[in-house]
Amino acid sequence: MKAEYDLSKMKSRRNPYASKLKTPVTMRLSEDVVAYFKRMAVDTGVPYQSLINLYLRDCVTQHRQVQIAWPSKP
């Protein structure tokens, strides 16, 4: 194995799997929710979209279910 390699002549290429890693979606989120994640993004240095994705991924791995209780009709 060489001590050093010359990578200056190496051609770069796109990752063929990059487009399959994430799916772009359009969502309507409450202003306060977006503001919350944007503030957290400033504090952590992580983009707010990534923070939202990390939170949702945590929900998936923990198998969290939303508990919705609709008000009953009188």
**pLDDT recorded at residue 10:** 87
Residue 38 lies in a domain: yes
Residue 47 lies in a domain: yes
Provide the residue range defining the domain that includes 43. Answer: 29-61
Q: Give the Cβ contact number of residue 27 at 10 Å.
A: 7
Q: Is the pLDDT of residue 18 over 80?
A: no
pTM of the model: 0.66
> Percentage of residues in the chain with pLDDT exceeding 90?
61
Q: Can you tell me the distance from the alpha carbon of 40 to that of 24, in angstroms, rounded to the nearest whole number?
A: 22
Q: Can you tell me the distance from the alpha carbon of 71 to that of 68, in angstroms, rounded to the nearest whole number?
A: 10
| C-beta of residue 40 within 8 angstroms of C-beta of residue 52 | no
Q: Can you tell me the distance from the alpha carbon of 69 to that of 71, in angstroms, rounded to the nearest whole number?
A: 6
Residue 49 lies in a domain: yes
Q: Which amino acid is at 53?
A: N
What's the structural domain count of the chain? 1
Residue 51 lies in a domain: yes
**pLDDT recorded at residue 29:** 97
Residue 11 lies in a domain: no
Q: Give the Cβ contact number of residue 52 at 10 Å.
A: 18
